[in-house]
Structure 1
Amino acid sequence: MTTGEIGAGGLLPDRHPTGDFFLCDIFGASPKDDLGTMEHPVFSLSTRPDRRILSYEHNGAQVQVVPSVKGRATIHDKDILIYCVSQLVAALNAGRETSRHLVLKAHDLLVATNRDTSGDAYTRLKEAFERLAGTRISTNLTTGGEESTAGFGLIESWEIRRKSRGGRMISVAVTLSDWLYRAVLAKSVLTLSRDYFRLRKPLERRVYELARKHCGRQPEWRVSVAVLHKKSGSSAPLRVFRASLRKMICADHLPDYGMIEEEGDLVRFCRRGHVMERDAPGAPLLRSSTLEEARELEPGADVYALEANWRRFWEESGKVQLKDPDKAFLGWLLKRRTS
Structure 2
Amino acid sequence: MVVRRRDPSERGQLDLFRALPGDFAPRDAQDLMAYPFFSLSKSHRIAPIDFSAGGVSIRVEAVPDHGMATIWDADILIWAASQIVEARDAGLRTSRLMAATPYEILTYVGRGTSKRDYQRLKAALDRLQSTTISTSIRQPAEGRRHRFSWINEWQERTDRQGRPDGIELIVPDWFYKAVLDDALILTIDPAYFDLTGGLDRWLYRIVRKHGGRQRGGWRFDLRHLHLKSGSLSPFKRFAFELRDIVRRQPLPGYLLSLEVEIGGRTLLAFEPLAACGKPVDGLVLSGTRPIVPSGTRGSCHQEPKPALTSGNRGRIRALNLESNQESNFEERARDVENLIRTAAASLRAAGKSPRKGAPAAQTGRKESEPASPDQLPLLDRPGGAR
> Could you tell me the TM-score, scaled by structure 2's length?
0.64
Secondary structure class of the residue paired with 1:266: strand
Distance in structure 1 (CA, Å) of the matches to 2:78 and 2:141: 21
Distance 2:13 2:155 in 1: 12
Task: Identify if the C-alpha distance between structure 1 residues 225 and 46 changes in structure 2 by more than 3 Å, giving closer, same or farther.
Answer: same
Q: 2:114 maps to what in 1?
A: 118
Which residue of structure 2 lines up, in the alignment, with residue 266 of structure 1?
A: 267
Q: Given the alignment of the two structures, is residue 224 of structure 1 paired with residue 217 of structure 2, yes or no?
A: no
Cα distance between partner residues in 2 of 1:17 and 1:61: 34
Amino acid at match of 1:55: D
**How high is the sequence identity, in percent, across the aligned residues?**
34
Residues 148-159 of structure 1: pairs in structure 2 closer than 5 A? 148-159=144-155
For the structure 1 residues 267 and 65, does the alpha-carbon distance in structure 2 shift closer, same or farther, using more than 3 Å as the test?
A: same
Deviation (angstroms), 1:258: 1.1
Q: Secondary structure at the match of 1:65?
A: strand
SS at match of 1:25: coil
Looking at structure 2, the residues matched to 258 and 146 of structure 1 have their Cα atoms a distance apart, in angstroms, of 39
* Paired AA for residue 206 in structure 1: W
State yes or no: 1:97 paired with 2:114.
no
1:205 is aligned to 2:206: no
- The structure with the largest alpha-carbon Rg is 2
Query: What is the Cα deviation at residue 29 of structure 1?
Result: 2.0
Number of corresponding residues:
262
Deviation at 1:253, TM superposition (A): 1.7
Aligned pairs for 1:132-143 (under 5 A) are 132-142=128-138
Amino acid at match of 2:77: L
CA separation of 1:166 and 1:48: change in aligned 2, threshold 3 A: farther
Give the drift of 1:18: 12
Alpha-carbon offset, residue 26 of structure 1: 3.4
1:151-173 per-residue CA deviation (whole Å, 9 max, x = no partner) reads 1111111111138x998x65110
Q: Which has the higher contact order (CA 8 A, sep 6+)?
A: 1
Determine the C-alpha separation between the residues in 2 that align with 1:262 and 1:71. 37
1:54 aligns with 2:36: no
Partner in structure 2 of residue 323 of structure 1: none
- For residues 48-72 of structure 1, what are the alpha-carbon distances to aligned partners after superposition, in whole Å with 9 as ceiling and x for unaligned? 1101111111101000011122111
Confirm whether residue 63 of structure 1 aligns to residue 58 of structure 2: yes
Alpha-carbon separation, structure 2, partners of 1:234 and 1:269 = 21
Query: Partner of 2:238 in structure 1?
Result: 241
Instruction: For residue 152 of structure 2, give the secondary structure of its aligned residue in structure 1.
Output: strand
> Which runs of no fewer than 5 residues in structure 1 stay unpaired?
1-15, 276-304, 311-339
Distance 2:158 2:273 in 1: 43
Corresponding residue to 2:30 among 16, 25, 35: 35
| Runs of 5+ consecutive residues of structure 2 not aligned to the other structure | 1-10, 281-386
Q: Which amino acid aligns with 2:267?
A: L
- Alpha-carbon RMSD: 2.7
- Which residue is 1:252 aligned to? 249
* Structure 1 ranges of 4+ moved more than 3 A: 16-19, 145-148
Q: Give the number of the structure whose residues are more often helix, by fraction.
A: 1
**Whole-angstrom distance in 1 between the partners of 2:218 and 2:234:** 23
The alignment partner of 2:67 has SS state of coil
1:191 partner amino acid: T
Match of 1:127 in 2: 123
Structure 1 residues 28, 17: CA separation in 2 closer, same or farther (over 3 Å shift)?
farther
* Counterparts of 2:75 and 2:176, CA distance in 1: 16
Task: Measure, in 2, the Cα distance between the counterparts of 1:146 and 1:93.
Answer: 31
